[in-house]
Amino acid sequence: MQKFDTLTGVAAPLPIVNIDTDMIIPKDYLKTIKRTGLGVGLFANMRYREDGSPDPDFVLNKPAYSKAEILIAGDNFGCGSSREHAPWALLDFGIRCVISTSFADIFYNNCFQNGILPIRVTPQELEELLKDAEKGSNARLSVDLDTQEIRRPDGQVIHFDLEASRKHRLLNGLDDIGTTLERAPGISTFEQKLAEDRPWA
């Protein structure tokens, strides 16, 4: 899993509340178990017209946001079903950080398993960040995981909270398997002692 330390990039504003996982990646794109290639289906129902052509009014189709790495979204982002394809689609498009006032629990946990940093901010902070994002590519945000800070284009800083264990995992690019492998020496020692104490087992 890719490490996350500092990310500086364009932030796309998506001020819609209750964006569920079906909106993030519609069911038509769930026929694969691969983590790649899903970026094309990200927000497909909003991103494309009925004839399949890109809707120029949707934020990620606008030139200023076509390579956005940060998403500023409304409250309760990622609600609905538990599909892990949702963070896969965000990551495949290039989104490494999602900022909102709240997230659905399963989506929130899935983000950390895939190298995406979900940040919770206050409603007032979200409004400020949305205003920054609306300035397009002229206003880039910087997210520093180590210091747990969002640096706005005007130099102001927003601090965010994050559990130490989740921070450690992202900084070191560790999913559940990677976290287990960190304890490999201790596991090996335990297994060796068990074999010595219970050779019949």
- In the predicted structure, residue 134 carries a pLDDT above the cut 70: yes
Amino acid 77 reads F
Q: What totals of helices (H) and strands (E) does the chain contain, helices first?
A: 8, 7
CA 193 to CA 167: how far, in whole Å?
33
Q: How confident is the model at residue 181 (pLDDT cuts 50, 70, 90)?
A: very low
Break the chain into its structural domains and give their ranges: 4-195
Question: Could you give the residue ranges of the DSSP H alpha helices within 114-183?
Answer: 123-133, 164-172, 176-182
- Average pLDDT on 98-107 reads 97
Tell me the backbone φ, ψ of residue 142, rounded to 5 degrees: -125, 125
Q: How confident is the model at residue 29 (pLDDT cuts 50, 70, 90)?
A: confident
pLDDT in tens, 52-65: 999 999 999 999 99
Q: How confident is the model at residue 36 (pLDDT cuts 50, 70, 90)?
A: confident
- In the predicted structure, residue 200 carries a pLDDT above the cut 70: no
pLDDT in tens, 79-97: 998 889 999 999 999 999 9
- In the predicted structure, residue 24 carries a pLDDT above the cut 80: yes
Which 3 state secondary structure label does DSSP give 16?
coil
pTM above 0.75, yes or no: yes
Exposure letters 141-180 (e unless 16+ CB within 10 A, then b): bebebeeeebbbeeeeebebebeeebbebbeeebeeeeee
Q: How confident is the model at residue 177 (pLDDT cuts 50, 70, 90)?
A: low
- In the predicted structure, residue 190 carries a pLDDT above the cut 90: no
What pLDDT is attached to residue 138? 81
Query: In which order are the strands placed within the sheet that holds 140-144?
Result: 117-120, 97-100, 70-73, 6-14, 140-144, 149-151, 157-159
Closest CA relative to residue 107, chosen from 57, 65, 71, 154: 71
Rg (C-alpha) for the chain, rounded Å, is 19
CA 126 to CA 72: how far, in whole Å?
8
What pLDDT is attached to residue 83? 87
**% residues pLDDT > 90 (the chain):** 76
What pLDDT is attached to residue 188? 59
- Alpha carbon of 47 to those of 5, 13, 26, 173: distances in Å? 30, 14, 11, 30
Task: Give the CATH fold of the 4-195 domain.
Answer: Aconitase; domain 4 (3.20.19)
